[in-house]
Structure 1
Amino acid sequence: MREKLVCSTSSTSPIVDEIVIKDDEAKETETGKETKPDDFWNANVFDDANYVRWSEKTSKAKLQTVMVSTVKVCVVLGCLYLFICSISMLGDAFQVLAGKAAGDLFSNSSFLKNPITGLIIGMLVTALIQSSSTSISIVVTMVASGILEVQDTVYIVMGANIGTSVTNTIVSLTQSLDKQEFRRAFAGATIHDVFNLLSVLVFLPLEFVSGYLQALTKAIIDSFHIQGGADAPDMLKVITNPFVKSIVEINKTVITLVAQEVPLEKNSSMIKIWCETASGYINVTKLINETNVINGQNITTEVNVTELQKVSVGVRMCESPEDFLFANTGLSDVVAGVILLLMALIILCTCLIVMVKVLNSMMHGSVSRMVKKLINTNFRYPFGWVTGYLALLFGAGMTFVIQSSSVFTSILTPLVGIGVVQLKRMYPLTLGANLGTTTTSILAALASDPSRLQYSLQVSLIHLFFNLSGILVWYPIPFMRIPIAGAKFLGNTTAEYRWFAVLYVVSVFFVFPLVLLALSLANVWALISVIIVVAVIAIFVIVVNILQKRRPLWLPASMRTWEFLPLPMRSLQPYDTFMSKYLLCKCCCKGQTDDDVTSMTSSAVKKRDSASSSDVECCSDDVCDDGHLNPVFDMDNKETIDTHL
């Protein structure tokens, strides 16, 4: 509801004696019309009053439309291809920059046995190298070599599930120029984050207490005689490799060797050095313990054993640009990684902006309505519930085909931003992508060596059943679809405070995990204490929010709103002032300049003087006798709210 205005009945006084701001129940668009909060998510952004139907066009206009549409489709497909390649390059850049550091994080197997530490390590490593498949494959190798037990990998897999969602969240930042597009795009991206975080909050303590994921997957493997099979299909890489591998090729073996604490050569690099290798054998002497029975006693002695070990020997070094652009350039991994990261971001942002603009120009009138109806409409009653599950299966199938949940959700994110895909449809598609990426890892595990097949497959099944458990909790029952509400909250927040999006990405995926990791390394009880305090505060806030909304009379009068707290503890406005003034571009964060404010101030004064001269009197509420709402001017925030009906 809008708050009432206190109006003056004197023609010589200002119309508005008390300045008020309408609350969130009714917001204004640029056209001055009231828009309900739900309209931000379901807005028909493609309506065009100047759209001409096909039947009303001349032959020349029809031919021109066909030619222009063909060019636009080719541009969209080309941008989509480069966009997918740029995401792959982005992952390669992070691996070059942080691949060895990620391996170092995995190398200390002692503290990986701590559930919280394992979760954080899995999250950090996956966020750094931008690939859950790579991080999980490292875990599989460590399990097969005996460095880790399967029960320790459960929490690392949970962390990898959270870390892999950072890619599409970064992609959503490219739509920050348009407030409403950014609202929808950021919500569409973070719905993945919220789902994964909530699933971890539920199933990490459950797994710690019961070990159900490990027991379930072990029972499945023991029940079937599983044999190795063919490798997983690699359809996406077949398409993108010609472009990506002409830029850089990554030596992922380095990460695995660092994780296994194998000494590396001084000139070792995350970028591939040798383009041609040959197999060879070397004599390796190992010190082993040998037990012999002497005089009825077991005597253990150390003996040297020499055995042949198969190694790869470099034959031809890679050359630039014949093999790929970054081949043996003499640049360090840090310099090469930064350059590659900048290239990937430039290509990603350019392609995404062009693709969104072209799609916007193609979506008009009946075309936009047809596309949105095809994607977002549910089946008729009583089969409406089936639609979401079909979308979930579609997301799983598409992710299985392209072998990357990050790519699939990153493609959907800009479509959510421009309004083609609604948030309620993005949710099951994202859940399907979570399932699809696990089936790929299962097929990859089936192609592994028979000696480590059981371990690699069990880790993949843990990944599958963790995601499946999360879906069973957060999707079938409508009121349990909390990730949608959480994503909307984050979308609304970032629409008002653009800098919050960057703060969210840096904090959730890097700062908070690093702080928790430091606490866990310093003292386990310090980590537990911090987690308990945060949990108590979170529960208190949730309970009070629910009571304020549903049972306010149950609370003391002072706690029926959050105004009893200092402003910095209940609002981002003080931080927004700091960010806008000192750190960020004022026009980007505020959307208004001082000239705009001056212009709107003059406009408000003219409206006031005009109303005074015509002796317009206000009634006791916010509607004047002429049927219009009073213009409201907020002197503190310097913001004029257009209130014409």
Structure 2
Amino acid sequence: MSETRVAVTDTTQENVRENKEFDPWAIPEDDEEFEKWSEMTKKRRVEFVLVIISKIIGVLGCLYLFICSLSLMGSSFQVLAGKTAGTIFSNNAILKNPVAGLIIGILVTVLVQSSSTSTSIITTMVGADILNVHQAIPMIMGANIGTSVTNTIVSLSQSMDVVQFRRAFAGATVHDLFNLLSVLVLLPLEVASGMLEKMTHRLIEPLEATNVKPPKILKVITDPLTKKIIQVNKTIIALVAQNVPLEDDASMVSKICKEYNSTAEKTVKVPCNPSHFIFAGTTIDDGGVGAILLIVSLFALCACLISMVKILHSMMKGSIARTIKKTINTDFRKPFKWVAGYLAILVGAGLTFVVQSSSVFTSTMTPLVGIGVISLKRMYPLTLGANIGTTTTSLFAALATDGEALSRTLQIAFSHFFFNIFGIAIWYVIPFMRNIPIKGAKMLGNTTAKHRWFALVYLFMVFFIIPAVILGLSIAHIWAMAAVLILVGIIVLFVVVVKVLQAYRPQSLPVILQNWKFLPIFMRSLDPYDKVFTICCARCDQCRRCCGSHSENQSEGEVYENSVVVPNKVLPTQEVHTSHF
């Protein structure tokens, strides 16, 4: 990592010292002076209004393309891995193990990039009597975890700005932590007592079948564009999951675009052609189509998100911006201070119900956390509301089922709903418990600010590698999986207890456990790994900026958002180091 030595004035040193008190989690204050409306000339007012209108149109346009790119990314994963996801679902022997069912729910949701798709498939399989309710509940919990991968990916687009990335990554991972902690508590309870299964069974007994379909408010807007690019045959996933033999040329890309009844009461199928969508009738296999779509959608997603963030950042200035930030993040006065958080949950649930996708809602909120419009404290209840709102998808899928299967499918839908309700009751309603996911997200945000490569490691470890390893162990033997999980659980519990005692009662610990210095440095610090990632990224300046770390400078002083390092010992020449990533 290159370093340049630059002389600084006394004024600069004072500014750097002020940054010591900089709080990266606080809503940024706008101290600049702006021209007041009353002081503007008529010409200036017209220019100001036109600029604001053009920026609003730009934000809405970027938001539209951003949502479309999310839809295309989901379609690309479905084309790439849809058959694999269906095959995973079809292994009924593995699903008898609740932990394996949880992992399969995570992996399938990550592969198809949609909890709505995975929960609908699970509901369909329960209705077809391929899965029973007892097996499906852990899979629904896994789908809840897998759906949060999208906003974690979206947060990576803000990795070029350390301060924004810190907040955005924390805003994304607070969703992960809530889902993981809820599963950690509720899955053992469900296995031991069957709490959700028994409660939902009593709840659905008086209900009867109704033909209800979910609203398609967002899809009405985005489908005209996305359906002209790709149309996915999602029935293939369900057929593979149900062990139904497929034709040799079966493809995840739709081949039939329209069906209607002729005068002879025969169903006429209209084959797809390029006039229906771009990839209709293509000779490229599913892997090639999925790869092309994934590259295009990721590029479009990053371009739209970066543009939207820049426009919003330019708009979030002045008295209007201060009013918006205050309105979104303010709390009510006592004794109603607690109401604001619950209103945020209702807003999150309502907006997610409208767009019928928790991924779209949370992915849209994540960059707003990054630029400081929404605080992490307010983002947390919004994501909890999104978790509730997304349960309507499986509920509508269940209500569309007829006959004897209705009771089973409704049971799964309500299990999904009450899983999130109980999670909120534990990790939000209890005041001191809600701090655990928030503090955990801040810790992850601080870690990625110092070691930006950690974000990618976290993403692959949490959503791919660890679930795959646990699934492999469960396939090998249930006792092998149990032994490893128990060992890891004991280690994690020991570390947590020791960390708490080190912080609050260090005198109660043996001298050797009062700090972690007895461990090798690679087991207690990420600094040694910086060199590995720096070497990997050394050939590309862009990669250095994404993967760079401040750790080499940490021995000399503190690092702040302006990347200036304050030495612990001021040199005679009053010099500081500026690091270039």
Question: Is the TM-score greater than 0.5?
Answer: yes
Counterpart position of 1:157: 140
Matching residue of 1:40: 24
- Please point out which of 290, 294, 301 is paired with 1:348: 301
Amino acid at match of 1:459: I
Q: Secondary structure at the match of 1:276?
A: strand
- CA separation of 1:593 and 1:577: change in aligned 2, threshold 3 A: closer
Verify: 1:590 aligned to 2:548, yes or no: yes
**1:359 — aligned with what?**
312
Is 1:87–2:70 an aligned residue pair?
yes
Read off the aligned partner of 2:190 and give its amino acid letter. E
Contact (CA 8 Å) 1:586, 1:593: kept in 2 or not?
no
Task: Give 1:308-387 correspondences, 5 Å limit.
Answer: 315-320=269-274, 322-387=275-340
Bigger radius of gyration, 1 or 2? 1
Which structure 2 residue ranges, 5 or more long, are not aligned?
1-11, 557-562
Q: Deviations over 1:462-482 (max 9, x none)?
A: 100101010000001221011
**Residue 252 (1) aligns with residue 210 (2):** no
Cα offset for 1:590? 2.9
Conserved? CA contact 2:450–2:551, under 8 Å: no
Of 151, 163, 166 in structure 2, the residue corresponding to residue 180 of structure 1 is 163
How many residue pairs match? The answer is: 551
Cα deviation per residue 1:399-430 (whole Å; 9 max; x = unaligned)? Answer: 11111111000110000000000000000000
User: 1:383 offset after TM fit, Å?
Assistant: 0.4
Q: Give the AA of the match of 1:399.
A: T
Instruction: Give the Cα–Cα distance (whole angstroms) in 1 for the partners of residues 476 and 19 of structure 2.
Output: 51
**1:258 Cα deviation from its structure 2 partner:** 0.5
Deviation at 1:313, TM superposition (A): 6.8
Does structure 2 retain, via aligned residues, the 8 Å contact 1:48–1:364?
A: no
SS in 1 for 2:351: helix
Q: Deviation per CA, 1:165-190: give whole Å up to 9, x if none.
A: 10111000000000000000000001
Structure 1 position 500, deviation (Å):
0.7
Q: 1:202 to 1:476 in 2, by over 3 A?
A: same
Query: By how many angstroms is 1:266 displaced?
Result: 1.0
Equivalence for 2:97: 114
Shift of the 128–374 alpha-carbon distance from structure 1 to 2, 3 Å rule, reads same
Question: What CA deviation, in whole Å up to 9, does each residue of 1:588-641 have, x standing for no partner?
Answer: 4337899xx9xx99x99x97445xxxxxxxxxxxxxxxxxxxx687xxxx778x
User: Is contact 2:452–2:549 with CA below 8 Å preserved after alignment?
Assistant: no
Mapped to 2, the partners of 1:30 and 1:90 lie a distance apart of 47
Q: C-alpha distance in 1, partners of 2:570/2:530? A: 30
- CA displacement at 1:35 relative to structure 2: 4.1
Q: Secondary structure at the match of 1:411?
A: helix
- The 1:591/1:65 distance shift into structure 2, 3 A limit, reads farther
Counterpart in the other structure of 1:21: none
Unmatched segments (≥5 aa) in structure 1: 1-27, 281-309, 611-630, 641-645
Work out the CA distance in 1 between the residues paired with 2:545 and 2:130: 53
The separation in 2 between residues aligned to 1:428 and 1:416, in whole angstroms, is: 13
TM-score by length of 1: 0.82
User: Match for 1:498 among 431, 444, 452?
Assistant: 452
- Aligned twin of 1:543: 497
Equivalent-residue separation in structure 1 for 2:14 and 2:145 (angstroms): 37
**CA pair 556-382 structure 1, distance change in 2 beyond 3 A:** same
Give the aligned partner of residue 459 of structure 1. 412
CA contact (8 A) 2:453 2:548 kept: no
Equivalent residue runs for 1:282-297 within 5 Å: none
Aligned-partner residue type, residue 59 of structure 2: V
Aligned to 2:369: 416
Q: Does 1:520 align with 2:474?
A: yes
Q: Contact between 1:89 and 1:244, CA under 8 Å: does it hold in 2?
A: yes
Retained in 2: the 8 A contact 1:228–1:450?
no
- For the residue of structure 2 that corresponds to 1:521, the secondary structure is helix
AA partner of residue 453 (structure 1)? L
Give 1:304's aligned residue: none
In the alignment, what sits opposite 1:580? 534
C-alpha distance after superposition, 1:353-388 (max 9, x if no partner)? 000000111111212211110100000111000110
Alignment of structure 1 residues 126-141 onto 2, 5 Å: 126-141=109-124
Greater shift after overlay, 528-537 or 452-461? 452-461
Compared CA separation, residues 477 and 183, structure 1 to 2 (3 A) = same
**Equivalent position of 2:199 in the other structure:** 216
Q: Secondary structure at the match of 1:531?
A: helix
Structure with the larger helix share: 2
CA apart distance, 1:279:
7.2
Q: How do 1:293-308 residues align onto structure 2 when only pairs under 5 Å count?
A: none
Q: Distance in 2 between matches of 1:250 and 1:586?
A: 38
1:381 is aligned with what amino acid?
K
Structure 2 residue aligned with 1:438? 391
**Which residue is 1:429 aligned to?**
382
For residue 498 of structure 2, give the secondary structure of its aligned residue in structure 1: helix
The answer to whether the 8 A contact 1:587-1:593 is kept is no
**CA-based RMSD:** 2.6
Match for 1:508 among 432, 457, 462? 462
Deviation at 1:434, TM superposition (A): 0.4
TM-aligned CA distance change 1:31 to 1:86, over 3 Å: farther
TM-score (norm 2): 0.90
What residue in structure 2 maps to residue 394 of structure 1?
A: 347
Pair 186,29 (structure 1): closer, same or farther in 2 beyond 3 Å: farther
Q: Classify the secondary structure of the residue corresponding to 2:299.
A: helix
SS at match of 2:283: coil
